[in-house]
Amino acid sequence: MSPEVLAFEYAKKLFAENSSFWESEVVVSMGCGKIWYREHIAKEIDEIEAEYLRRQEASESKGYRREANKKLFEKYKYFMVLLFKHWVQNPENENQLFKFYKNLHALFCKVSRDHGLNPNDWKKLSSF
């Protein structure tokens, strides 16, 4: 799952659950409440999906969704940072976060020698 899709799905979950995230001081002060999310990000995600399906029917969808998602993510990067900070700090995501950590560690070990790094420089944690 790409970081963009992770963020989009997490925002959708928080929206559906009426999470307190939307009422946090920093989110409110930046004007990124539920209504703003629904009228901007959620709307644009739906537009991307509709366009993707249209392109898929015309066999023109290759790479479209990923590129469109990346552009949307960048457009609202300030919001995505808030969202990822919340995701990382949410205890419900600990297993998924630790899985990400283990996969990143494994990748580091695979490529480290090719880049002149010692794979043992990163001491793997057994848990958070």
The domain spans of the chain are 3-89, 92-128
Its pTM stands at: 0.80
Give, as one character, the DSSP assignment of residue 126.
Answer: S
Q: Average pLDDT across each block of 10 residues of the chain; the chain has 128 residues. List them in order.
A: 92 97 96 96 97 93 95 97 95 90 90 91 75
Nearest CA among 49, 66, 51 for reference residue 1: 66
Give the pLDDT of residue 111.
Answer: 94
DSSP H stretches of helix in 58-127: 64-75, 77-89, 94-111
Give, as one character, the DSSP assignment of residue 68.
Answer: H
Cβ atoms 68, 51 nearer than 8 A: yes
Residues 9 and 87: their CA atoms lie apart, in Å, by 11
Give the pLDDT of residue 127.
Answer: 66
Q: How far is CA 90 from CA 19, 55, 79, 126, in A?
A: 12, 36, 17, 19
Cβ atoms 10, 74 nearer than 8 A: no
